[in-house]
Amino acid sequence: MTMSTTPLTPEIVSQDGNAMVLSMGPQHPSTHGVLQLLLEIDSENVVKAEPEIGYLHTGIEKTAEGLFWTQAQTVIERMDYLAPSSNALCYALGVEKLLGITDQIPERAQTIRVLHMEMTRIASHLVWLGTHGIDLGAISVFFYCFDLRENILDLQEATGGARMHPNYVRVGGLNGDLPDGVLAQLDALIEKFPGRMRELRGLLQANPIFQDRTIDVGVLSPEDALGWNVTGPSLRASGIAYDVRKAFPYCGYETYEFDVPTRTEGDAYARFLVRLDEMEQAMRIVEQARRRLDRPGPVMIDDPKVAAPPKETIALSMEALIHHFKLMSEGFRVPPGDVYQAIESPRGELGFYIVSNGENRPYRVRTRPPSMYNLQALKGIAPGNLIADLVVMIGSLDPVFGEVDR
């Protein structure tokens, strides 16, 4: 067993021949965050790539152990900062399973959760597409993407009160119903989306420069993808149609009609196509969810032990006041047990292994971070490629470092 204290051991530094060691990042703009790559290169070719992570380690799992079940959701939401609601939803679903209230979540809450998740997926893929374009020199794509993303963030702000981390999904349902006017905004977005997608496809899909840079770059065979534990669009681009929404449905995904786009090439271009198709499928789900939203209904579980009673009732009912006080001052308790809950986040299978010891705080929250495992596959696909193609491969794996490092 070797335990080197520094990543650059003397053997690596002092090797002879044409090979040399190059450190790329952690401030390199194309690494999508704080990723350092230790590259062993032979002229322009990558012989070995060793990603160094941990620059953004914030100890979220440790912090969560000291917070109430609801408070922990606030820090957990900050892991995947491009798709914050997916973290919150996965955690909430896990806690709900431990509480045994999964089947009591109101239907409207589930619909809005699905709506929110798919919008998050589109927003997250838009950031990926924009930055992936910039990496390859296609600057204008970025502006198209961020314009559309801004519409989605406006909706998030309207529902949750914050653009980036709405903290809208809660254990037991949602933090309030959709406010007036949001549905009109949503309709406008649904109307705008297809045209904007056509533009985005037109900018890149048949673009010969883009194709030259991405086709046959970073090929991931199905066996390698499984071995490296790659999930999400990257796995589906390698020909395996594994989607948690279909395999282990949650929030009523089994009642929505949508396809799981797959490709068999497994290269960066296939991953690009899969994500683009996925955005269109996500919008299909959004449209279906939108139609279900015309019916009003509760959005929070009717259980004062988990959900605070409506604020207005505090002045009228002693019980409401007591429940409110108890929930705010010491939170709720979760029966002892452990659970693994997974959802399909924009990056792949996001999982939470939650252990409760019956207290009002999580005993342990272990995340299965899709970004981390997807990024790890870089070690497998980078060797043999050009340095210039590294940014394509990083971009096509779509890591988010808040989640890789947590």
Partner 1 sequence: MPSTQIPPITGAAIDPPSLRPPIGDAVIERIDPQALRARLEALKADGFTMLLDLGAVDYLTRKPRFDVVYHLLKLPARAASVSEVGTPVRMRILCGVDDGQALPSVMDLWTSADWAEREVYDLFGIVFEGHADLRRIQMPYDWEGHPLRKDYPMRGPERERSPRPAFANKSNVVAGTPPSGRTLAALQEQVKRVRAQDDKTP
Chain contacts with partner 1 (rule: CB under 8 A): 1-7, 53-54, 57, 59, 61-63, 65-67, 71, 97-98, 100, 222-223, 226-229, 239-243, 246-248, 260, 262, 264, 335-341, 349, 351, 353, 355-359, 361, 363-364, 366, 368, 372-373, 376, 379-380, 405-406
Rounded Cα–Cα distance for residues 32 and 398 (Å): 8
Q: Which is nearer to partner 1, 197 or 226 (CB)?
A: 226
Q: Which is nearer to partner 1, 100 or 310 (CB)?
A: 100
Q: How far is the CB of 42 from partner 1 (least distance, A)?
A: 21
Q: Which is nearer to partner 1, 186 or 381 (CB)?
A: 381
Q: Which is nearer to partner 1, 319 or 330 (CB)?
A: 330
CA distances from 304 to 225, 327, 329 (A): 45, 9, 14
Quickly tell me which residue has 């929030």 as its tokens. 251
Q: How far is the CB of 329 from partner 1 (least distance, A)?
A: 10
Specify whether the CB–CB gap between 97 and 341 falls below 8 A. Answer: yes
Rounded Cα–Cα distance for residues 119 and 122 (Å): 5
Task: Indicate the DSSP class of residue 78.
Answer: T
Task: Indicate the DSSP class of residue 79.
Answer: S
Specify whether the CB–CB gap between 362 and 60 falls below 8 A. Answer: no
Rounded Cα–Cα distance for residues 50 and 173 (Å): 42
Q: Which is nearer to partner 1, 71 or 185 (CB)?
A: 71
Is residue 257 packed enough to be buried (19+ CB in 10 Å), middle (13-18) or exposed (0-12)? exposed
Q: How far is the CB of 406 from partner 1 (least distance, A)?
A: 8
Please count the other Cβ atoms lying within 10 Å of the Cβ belonging to residue 294: 7
Please count the other Cβ atoms lying within 10 Å of the Cβ belonging to residue 359: 14
Q: Which is nearer to partner 1, 201 or 246 (CB)?
A: 246
CA distances from 21 to 8, 36, 42, 50, 288 (A): 9, 13, 9, 11, 52
Q: How far is the CB of 170 from partner 1 (least distance, A)?
A: 19
Q: Which is nearer to partner 1, 102 or 207 (CB)?
A: 102
Q: How far is the CB of 381 from partner 1 (least distance, A)?
A: 12
Specify whether the CB–CB gap between 352 and 367 falls below 8 A. Answer: yes
Find the radius of gyration of the CA atoms of the chain. 22
Q: How far is the CB of 296 from partner 1 (least distance, A)?
A: 32
- Reduced to 3 states (helix: H, G, I; strand: E, B; else coil), residue 337 is strand
User: What size, in residues, is the chain?
Assistant: 406
Rounded Cα–Cα distance for residues 89 and 80 (Å): 12
Q: Which is nearer to partner 1, 152 or 270 (CB)?
A: 270
Q: Which is nearer to partner 1, 8 or 190 (CB)?
A: 8
Q: How far is the CB of 112 from partner 1 (least distance, A)?
A: 24
Q: How far is the CB of 335 from partner 1 (least distance, A)?
A: 7
Q: How far is the CB of 124 from partner 1 (least distance, A)?
A: 21
